[in-house]
Amino acid sequence: MISRVRRVLTGHDADGKSTIIADGFAANMKEMPPGSGLAVTELWETSVPADNAGRQDAGNRKVRLEPPQNGTLFRIVEFPPDAQWQSRPDARDWAKALDATHAPDRSSRDPMMHKTSTVD
């Protein structure tokens, strides 16, 4: 069973004082592929320079593999217990779920462990 992640989103009110904007489960969770027990929950992303002005939810975006150009993303990846895997997972299914079909290398020893132009 996939765990839901509680996220508290803070910001600033009209007077510039800290305030809670949202407190609840993170909305952007994706199980890949459905029923696999592998899930990604996006908490937030930033551009560079990071901007914390306003009341935007920096985690309210489509779940995808790469962060924005020159940016960052913070996510939680939940892996199922080894006993739950019935066969070697197909990296192509994972990549498709994250709009990253360019990323996996099936010829590698460890699928989904790869270099990208954004982090390496």
Asked whether the beta carbons of 29 and 41 are under 8 A apart, the reply is: yes
Within a domain: residue 111? no
Higher pLDDT, 68 or 1: 68
Within a domain: residue 34? yes
Handedness of CA 60, 7, 5, 119 (dihedral sign): positive
* pLDDT tens figures, 59-91: 777 777 788 888 888 899 888 876 665 455 565
Within a domain: residue 73? yes
Structure confidence at residue 58 as a pLDDT band (50, 70, 90): confident
pLDDT of residue 90: 61
Within a domain: residue 31? yes
Number of independent structural domains in the chain: 1
Within a domain: residue 12? yes
Q: Which domain holds residue 23?
A: 6-85
Which DSSP string corresponds to 65-99?
SSPPTT-EEEEEEEPPPGGG--S---HHHHHHHTT
Asked whether the beta carbons of 30 and 39 are under 8 A apart, the reply is: yes
Cis-peptide, bond into residue 49, ω within 30° of zero:
yes
pTM of the model: 0.64
Cα separations in angstroms, 97 against 7, 27, 49 = 23, 17, 29
Structure confidence at residue 23 as a pLDDT band (50, 70, 90): very high
Higher pLDDT, 99 or 66: 66
Residue type, 92: R
Q: Which tokens hold the place of 77?
A: 């990846």
Within a domain: residue 109? no
Within a domain: residue 65? yes
